[in-house]
Each structure stands twice: as structure tokens, then as C-alpha cells.
Amino acid sequence: MLIAGNWKMFKGPEEAGVFCRALRDADLGEVDVVVCPPYVSLGEAVGALAGTEIGVAAQNVHWAAEGAFTGEISAPMLRELGVYVAIVGHSERRQLFGETDETVVRRALAAIEHGLHVIACVGETEAEREAGETGSVLRRQVGAIAAGLNEAGVAETDELVIAYEPVWAIGTGKTATPEMAQEAHALVKSILNVPVLYGGSVKPENAYELASQPDVDGALVGGASLDLESFATICREASHS
Ligand code: PEP
């Protein structure tokens, strides 16, 4: 069971350091824990969490090792900083910054090739769910990642985790029912047999029920990961599931 806290564009270095030092002493139950600070706070988080089992992830990573890509960060640069995990394809990247299935696959493959673990996000919009297209959207998004892995000859990888994040549930307070999450996770796993996290308004109150579903292997938590007590409670609830 993996619980990842996606901080989005919150917590600069100072606040990240304070949070991570407190996280060291928090009761997080028996789950694997990762925090995903903004780029400028990664170094501070790595330093504060050194010697613990808590991982630090970037919120994105470019496919090139270096080059003329203003505003981007590469996998080797993250590794140099002591960061060994990256999120790719978050719906905010897909919706606001033009990320496509193709760029998500390129980012994921390059990260894996450079020795990073990857959390690749997929999920349908509200309109797509209402139109009955959830299955076809997931087949397209996850299928693109599976095809990319196949072409690169890394079809069997331990470095990849999928996060199923229905777009309509992200930051909205609306959560997929445990049954909806289970159905989507089972579909994802039928295409690509990797662990699948659920994301979308996970809170202390719903973490146990969601994490109890057989194909839910953890959670990607946004807003509720910014507060230490709420994040720690989610970790403990998931740990009991
Ligand atoms: C996320 O950012 O991945 C997310 C799921 O956000 P929230 O928990 O705030 O819905």
C-alpha cells in the first residue's frame, strides 16, 4: 500500500522543511509514503527525510536528459538531487499544460530508463463518464503506456505505478464510490498489471473504504496531503485496510 502526497504548487522550501521534519516523527502506520513537493522544495524535502523510509517524488519530468527545454527538469537532474520517483500525466498537466498520451508515455519511459520510479496518472473527465466513455478513455490512456513499454522492451517493469484519478473528483470534494474505483482499477490492471493508486478527494473519512477495495493499492492525495494530521490519518486508515 502506497500513499503519495501531491503538494501541487504549495509549500516553498521553508514550509516543506518544517512539514517533512514533522512527518519524520508522525505515526504513518505500515504503508509506504511518498511526498511530491514542487521542484524548488525537493532538495529541502530530501534533506529533511534522509535516513527515513519516506520517499520524495517530483511532480513531472522531461524525456530528454538535457537540452533546450526551458522550464523543464530531467531525470538525471532529479537523481542528482536524491529524487527517485516522478509523477507524469497528472490531469492538471493534461488539462492546463497540453500534456498528451504521447508526451506522458515519453516522460514515463525516459524516467524509467534513467532509473526513476514513475506514478503515471490516468482518468476520465465528468463529460466522458456521463457519456459512458470511462472504459474507452482508460483503455486509450493505459493502452498508450502499455504500448510504449512494449516498444521499449520493458513490458515487465517494477518501476511503474498507475494512479487512477477521475478528473471530476480532483480538488472538487466529489469522490468516486469504492465500487467505481474498484471497477476502474480492475480495468486498468487488465491492460497493464501494475499497482494502481486511487486519487480524487481522498480524505481521512474515505481513505479506509477506498483502500479496502481489492484492486486499490494505495492513494494519490492532493489537498488533504498538505496538512500533516490529515495526511498522517489517511496513511493510518489505509494501513488498517
Ligand atoms: C491530486 O492532485 O492528484 C488529487 C487527487 O487532488 P485532491 O486529493 O485534492 O482531489
Q: What is the pLDDT along the chain (241 residues), one digit of tens a residue?
A: 999 999 999 999 999 999 999 999 999 999 999 999 999 999 999 999 999 999 999 999 999 999 999 999 999 999 999 999 999 999 999 999 999 999 999 999 999 999 999 999 999 999 999 999 999 999 999 999 999 999 998 877 899 999 999 999 998 988 899 999 999 999 999 999 999 999 999 999 999 999 999 999 999 999 999 999 999 999 999 999 9
Interval between CA 200 and ligand 1 midpoint (Å): 5
Give the tens place of pLDDT for each residue, 131-182. Answer: 999 999 999 999 999 999 999 988 778 999 999 999 999 989 888 999 999 9
Q: Which of 44, 62, 90, 124 is catalytic?
A: 90
Please give all residues whose beta carbon lies within 6 A of any atom in ligand 1, as ranges.
6, 8, 165, 170-171, 199-202, 220-224
Using an 8 Å Cβ cutoff, are 15 and 44 in contact? no
* Nearest atom of ligand 1 to the alpha carbon of 6: 2
For this structure, is 99 an active site residue? no
Using an 8 Å Cβ cutoff, are 210 and 200 in contact? no
pLDDT of residue 173: 86
Q: Give the chain's largest Cα–Cα span.
A: 48
pTM tops 0.85, yes or no: yes
Distance CA 99, CA 13 (A): 27
For this structure, is 90 an active site residue? yes
CA 125 from centre of chain: 17
Calculate the average pLDDT of the chain. 97
β-pair type (117-122, 160-164): parallel
* Nearest atom of ligand 1 to the alpha carbon of 163: 3
Task: Give me the percent of the chain exceeding a pLDDT of 70.
Answer: 100
The kind and range of the H/E element at 183 are: helix 178-191
Interval between CA 171 and ligand 1 midpoint (Å): 5
pLDDT of residue 75: 98
Q: Which of 92, 99, 165, 237 is catalytic?
A: 165
Using an 8 Å Cβ cutoff, are 4 and 219 in contact? yes
Query: Which three cell numbers, joined as nine digits, stand for 153?
Result: 522492451
Q: What is the CA radius of gyration of the chain?
A: 17
Partners of 3 in the β-ladder: 33, 219
**Nearest residue CA, atom 1 of ligand 1?**
222
Query: Which three cell numbers, joined as nine digits, stand for 143?
Result: 493502452
**Nearest residue CA, atom 7 of ligand 1?**
222
Q: Please state, as a whole number, how many other Cβ atoms lie within 10 Å of the Cβ of residue 174.
A: 12
The type of residue at 59 is Q
DSSP 8-class letter at 94: H
Interval between CA 153 and ligand 1 midpoint (Å): 32
